[in-house]
Amino acid sequence: MLLLTFALALAPSPPQDALPRRHQRTQLAGMGVLSGYAVANIGWGVASRLRTDGVTRYVHEMNAAWNGINLTLGVVGLVRNRRPPAAEEALRVHHRTRTVFAINAGLDVLYIAAGSAMWSSAQTAGAQRDRVEGYGRSIVLQGAFLFAFDLAMLLAHDRALEGRSVRPALGLRSVGVSGRF
């Protein structure tokens, strides 16, 4: 199973580095991580769904479906941030973006709660037990990832506002995939 961990690598920005560029780099790094995570989950989910059965099959099925949405959001974010915001709009755009990540973090808690409820109700689901449990487990996993991602993006945007850059880095480790931005 893939384990995605986040670590923030903070480095001082050059003095000429203005908020529009820092905001753009932060968004591109985050949307790159989200898109990469989604592609890995879709590939792993589709391949694993074909080789497994029972609860595990449905975990992989939901992971692949859920990450279709994550991939769409990541690609849209990459496209929308091709250019930095206009200097006069940068602070407003920056605060609006932070608000979106804060609201998303709250929704992630609801995903985790809903997935937990599905998972625990599987015992009474009869013939759909495996599906309900598998989908519940997957929603808990995806909600937990998105919660960590949204909190990391909030922190990264705070750092960008303070004048520090974030540098993206992805790597494979013996325990899974790590992302650093």
| CA distance linking residue 31 with residue 173, whole number of Å | 21
Query: Which 8-state DSSP code applies to residue 13?
Result: P
Residues 136-170 have pLDDT tens digits of 999 999 999 999 999 999 999 998 888 755 554 44
**Residue 82 in tokens:** 């091709």
Query: Which 8-state DSSP code applies to residue 85?
Result: P
How would you write the pLDDT of the chain (181 residues) with one tens digit per residue? 333 333 333 334 443 458 999 999 999 999 999 999 999 999 999 999 889 999 999 999 999 999 999 999 999 999 999 999 999 899 999 999 999 999 999 999 999 999 999 999 998 888 899 999 999 999 999 999 999 999 999 999 998 888 755 554 444 444 444 454 4
116 CB-contact burial (10 Å; exposed 0-12 / middle 13-18 / buried 19+): middle
Instruction: Name beta bridge partners: 169.
Output: 180
